[in-house]
Structure 1
């Protein structure tokens, strides 16, 4: 009779995600995972499959949590204020990372997407979701006269996703608000309606 699992799958997955986030895929060994998750190798393989499958499950867990935070872009209200609050909250989360881990998605994009198509596809799906939320909000703001029509929603959404990733990358080496705030403020300038001379 097989033994029942005596650990919490989601808790173990969270621990694995933190290990991969801190060290990256290649630098995290199966032994590292066994130790941090508090389970044996047999349980790891039986529950999650191999290291790559575990990594993909951890990446999925992170992207789902990140997209939940991104739902702030789908709320009602003034579009410029929603984007402003979202970007500043994103900046402050970056500054509140004393371990300077950056973003798990960004780190993974750099480390693995060039040669791991399954991983690259998951990351593309994540970016597509964030861009879609920006596009919908910007389109709504343009229709309401809150956001300039000088650029399309698609162009602005792509730009804001790029700004977010830039904040995460720079935040790994410069944990000062003075370094990151200009990125947010200049980005927000692109939304402004032109005033009559």
Structure 2
């Protein structure tokens, strides 16, 4: 009769995600994972497969959580103000990280996407979903006259994804509001509508 698991899978996965996020894939050993997850090697392999499969599961957990925050972009209200609040919240999450880990997605893109196609595919899907949420909001704002329509919503969405990743990267080395706020402010100026600026 197989032995019952005596640990919470999601809690263990959360711990693994934090370890990968802090150290990266290559620098995180199986022993590091066993210790931080509080399980033995057999349980790790039985439940998650190998280190790479565990990493992919941790990446999924992170992106799922991040995309859930993106639901705020589909709420009713002034689109320019919703986007402004979303971007500043993003900036303050970056500033509020004492470990200066940056974005797990961005870190993974830099470390693994050039040679790990499974990671690269997950990252492309994630960025596509973020862009879709942003484009939905921006297009709605353009139709309401809250955001200018000088550029297509999809192009602006792609631009804002780039700004957000820039905030995360710069925030790792200059975690100061004075360094990050201008990036958000300048980006938001691209939304100014002739009808009413955000």
So what's the TM-score if we normalise by structure 2? 0.97
Provide the aligned C-alpha RMSD in A.
0.7
Q: CA deviation at 1:105?
A: 0.5
Q: CA deviation at 1:193?
A: 1.7
Distance in 1 separating the partners of 2:42 and 2:107: 29
Q: CA deviation at 1:175?
A: 1.0
Partner of 2:71: 71
Secondary structure of 1:31 counterpart: helix
Q: Report how many aligned residue pairs link the two structures.
A: 195
After superposition, give the CA deviation of every residue in 1:73-94 in whole Å (9 maximum; x if it has no partner). 1110000000000000000000
**Gapped regions of structure 1 (runs ≥ 5):** none
Partner of 2:181: 181
Secondary structure of 2:77 counterpart: coil
Does 1:121 pair with 2:121?
yes
Q: CA deviation at 1:194?
A: 3.6
Distance in 2 separating the partners of 1:121 and 1:16: 21
What is the 5 A alignment of 1:146-157?
Answer: 146-157=146-157
Partner of 2:140: 140
Distance in 2 separating the partners of 1:13 and 1:146: 42
Partner of 1:48: 48
So what's the TM-score if we normalise by structure 1? 0.98
Q: CA deviation at 1:179?
A: 0.2
